[in-house]
Amino acid sequence: MDLTDRRVVITGAGRDFGRALAHHFAGLGAELLLSARSLEAAERTRDEIRARGHDRVQAFACDLADPASIREFAAAVGRSTDRVDVLVNNGARWLQGPDLLSVSDEDVADTIASGSTGTVLVTKNLLPLLLASDRPDVVTMVSACGVPGARHSVAHEAYFAAKHGQKGFTEALSLRLRPQGVRVISLFPPDFDSSRDPLSPEWDTTPRGAQDPLASQSVIDCITFAIQQPRDCYISAFHFEPMSPLATADGTSAS
């Protein structure tokens, strides 16, 4: 697989799944534009990738809970490139709590803003650059928590709200943008193992058998497969079978 001619934006690229995805795409030759809530976090991933000999990578700050920060991020990306081929909406805040009263109002607002509103505004502000591509893809890491009827043992209600917001947005966006050639691809993973370091030897030896928990590598493979398909192949969503009825949250990186 070769992505040397793709320009890819990844939010929440400072750690965990977003960082792993950035390293994977770098290995396939993609030009990367990485964001995280703090510039330092994005720069750490950028510097790791550059140390591997891949210099087509830039780092940006983007607070997904702050519309002004999102606008500044999109403007900076626009000054760096004339198109975006793939946008990966990965960044979102995870929130847990035993009941609605267990977290602050600020935590609720930040969770919904970063996960739901942030996804909408990043896509909106980068849409002109996506439409400048001849093969634009919008990939969103939703969660099984965005599936109607899903349950989770520790996820807070605000997290469910954020993920259902992402689901509703991507479904509507897909119908709106398909006539313009934009593919909108959503992933609904349960809990998956995003703990392994993509630069460690254990990354290539992660157990991926039928009885093993879903691994980051398998989710990454799904994304890579979808964006590599011919333009007549429109994969709108990946749904994953959880290991247990309660294992229905995602492993996406915090923004």
Show Cβ contacts of residue 60 under 8 Å, excluding neighbours closer than 6 positions.
Answer: 33, 34, 35, 39, 42, 73, 76, 77
Token pair 């997290």 in the structure block, residue: 159
Give pLDDT, residue 253: 40
111-136 burial, b at 16+ Cβ within 10 Å, e below that, comes to bbbbbbbbbbbbbebbbebbeebebb
> Mean of the pLDDT values across residues 118-132?
98
Separation between Cα atoms, residue 247 and residue 255, nearest integer Å: 22
Show Cβ contacts of residue 42 under 8 Å, excluding neighbours closer than 6 positions.
Answer: 13, 14, 34, 35, 36, 59, 60, 61
pTM reported for the whole predicted model? 0.93
Distance in angstroms between the alpha carbons of the first and the last residue of the chain: 28
> Mean of the pLDDT values across residues 53-75?
98
Q: Across 30-34, 208-212, 246-250, which has the greatest mean pLDDT?
A: 30-34
> Mean of the pLDDT values across residues 195-202?
89
Is residue 10 predicted with pLDDT exceeding 50? Answer: yes
**Torsional class of 181: left (φ above 0), alpha (ψ -120 to 50), beta (otherwise):** left
Give residue 196's pLDDT band: very low, low, confident or very high (50, 70, 90): confident
Bridge partner residues of 138 (DSSP): 87, 184
Give pLDDT, residue 251: 42
170-194 burial, b at 16+ Cβ within 10 Å, e below that, comes to beebbeebeeeebbbbbbbbbbbbb
> Mean of the pLDDT values across residues 132-140?
98
Return the closest-CA partner of residue 205 out of 191, 220, 215, 192.
Answer: 215
Helical segments of 81-117, H only: 105-112
Question: Which pair of structure tokens corresponds to residue 251?
Answer: 């492993």
Is residue 7 predicted with pLDDT exceeding 70? Answer: yes
SS3 60: strand
Domains of the chain: 7-239 (3.40.50.720)
Give pLDDT, residue 244: 56
Give residue 241's pLDDT band: very low, low, confident or very high (50, 70, 90): confident
> Mean of the pLDDT values across residues 111-123?
97
Is residue 1 predicted with pLDDT exceeding 90? Answer: no
Separation between Cα atoms, residue 9 and residue 110, nearest integer Å: 22
Mean pLDDT, the chain, rounded, equals 93
Is residue 91 predicted with pLDDT exceeding 60? Answer: yes
